[in-house]
C-alpha cells in the first residue's frame, strides 16, 4: 500500500493509472476509521482495479465553534486498517496543500443543503462540496462510496455530481451500527460511559416511529411528538432537529409517504450525533 501526501503526486499517479486503463475506486474519510468506513471500502473493492482512501480532516466544513481541533486522529491505526481492507493508496494531505491561501472559488449547493444539518451548520456543505470536488479531481475516480449515515451529505453530493456532470458513479453504503444500535461515528469517542448509554435514544426514537407506522400512524406531527417525548426522558439530550422530508427533494412532509427520510441531530452532552432512516408507510 502506498501513502501519498502531495495533491500533485496524487493527481499525477491517478492520471497515469487511467492511462493504463485502470478503474479507480474511492472512499473519502476524515480518518479515525471504524467498521462503517471499512464497510465502504469493502463495497468499493470488488468494482475497481485500484482503491484509494483519503484521510483528510477538512477545515472548511467546520464552523468557528465546532470541533476541528478536537476531532479524533490516529493515522497509524488508520493506515493499518486501510491496508487490511485492501486499499492500494492512502491519500493523506495537509490542509495547507489542499487550499491556497487566497482561494476564492467554492462549490455551493443551494437547495438540498438548506435544512437539516445545513440549517444549523452554515457553510458546512459549501466546504463539503468543495473538498469532494477537489478530491474527485485529484483522485480521478470512476466510483466513490459514501455512507447513508450522512444522509443529507450523500444526497447533496449526488446532486453536485448530477448538476456539474462529474463522471463519478456514487454508490451508497448502508449505515453500520454497534450491536446495541448506535450508528458508528468517529465522534462516538467523545462519549463517556453514561453518555454512550444515553446516545441510544436516537436509534430508539427511530424504532419507535417504525413501530407507530406499523400501527397505522402516518401523521408527522404525531410521530415527531412521540420522538420528542422519548428523547426528552434522557438526561443531557438536546434535540437540534427532527425532520421528516421527501427522500429525494428533502422538502418537509406532513405525512409519511413512500420513501420519507426521517433525520435527526441530538446533542448528548457536548457531542453532536446524527442518525436517520428511510420510512415506508
> Strand (E) positions, 136-268?
143-147, 169-173, 237-246, 260-268
Q: How far apart are CA 251 and CA 243, in angstroms?
A: 10
Q: How far is CA 258 from CA 33, 111, 277, 278, in A?
A: 34, 21, 13, 9
Taking residue 117's Cβ as centre, other Cβ atoms within 10 Å add up to 22
Cα torsion angle, 129, 174, 55, 47, sign = negative
- 37 has catalytic annotation: yes
Residue 80 phi, psi (nearest 5): -65, -40
Taking residue 242's Cβ as centre, other Cβ atoms within 10 Å add up to 19
Residue 252 phi, psi (nearest 5): -60, 145
State the cell numbers at 128.
463539503
Name the active-site residue from 34, 37, 124, 280.
37
Q: How far is CA 240 from CA 5, 104, 257, 264, 271, in A?
A: 37, 31, 24, 7, 11
Residues annotated catalytic, as ranges: 37
Amino acid at each position: 500500500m502506498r501513502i501519498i501526501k502531495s495533491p500533485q503526486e496524487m493527481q499525477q499517479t491517478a492520471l497515469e493509472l487511467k492511462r493504463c486503463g485502470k478503474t479507480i475506486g474511492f472512499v473519502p474519510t476524515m480518518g479515525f476509521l471504524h467498521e462503517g468506513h471499512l464497510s465502504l471500502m469493502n463495497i468499493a473493492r470488488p468494482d475497481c482495479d485500484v482503491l484509494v482512501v483519503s484521510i483528510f480532516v477538512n477545515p472548511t466544513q467546520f464552523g468557528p465553534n465546532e470541533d476541528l481541533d478536537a476531532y479524533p486522529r490516529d493515522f497509524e491505526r488508520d493506515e493499518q486498517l486501510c491496508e487490511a481492507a485492501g486499499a492500494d493508496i492512502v491519500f493523506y494531505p495537509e490542509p495547507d496543500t489542499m487550499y491556497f491561501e487566497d482561494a476564492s472559488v467554492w462549490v455551493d449547493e443551494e437547495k438540498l443543503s438548506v435544512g437539516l444539518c445545513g440549517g444549523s451548520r452554515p457553510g458546512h456543505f459549501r466546504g463539503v462540496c468543495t473538498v469532494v470536488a477537489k478530491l474527485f479531481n485529484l483522485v480521478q475516480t470512476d466510483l466513490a462510496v459514501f455512507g447513508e449515515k450522512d444522509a443529507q451529505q450523500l444526497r447533496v453530493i449526488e446532486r453536485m455530481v448530477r448538476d456539474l456532470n462529474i463522471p463519478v458513479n456514487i454508490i451508497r453504503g448502508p449505515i453500520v451500527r454497534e450491536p446495541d444500535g448506535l450508528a458508528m461515528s468517529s465522534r462516538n469517542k467523545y462519549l463517556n460511559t453514561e453518555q454512550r448509554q444515553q446516545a441510544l435514544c436516537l436509534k430508539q426514537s427511530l424504532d419507535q416511529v417504525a413501530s407507530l407506522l406499523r400501527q397505522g400512524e402516518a401523521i408527522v406531527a404525531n410521530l415527531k411528538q412521540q420522538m420528542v417525548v422519548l428523547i426528552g426522558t434522557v438526561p443531557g439530550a438536546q434535540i437540534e432537529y427532527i425532520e421528516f422530508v421527501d427522500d429525494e427533494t428533502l422538502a418537509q412532509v406532513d405525512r409519511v409517504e413512500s420513501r420519507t427520510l426521517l433525520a435527526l441531530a441530538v446533542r448528548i452532552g457536548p457531542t453532536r450525533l446524527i442518525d436517520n432512516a428511510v420510512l415506508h408507510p
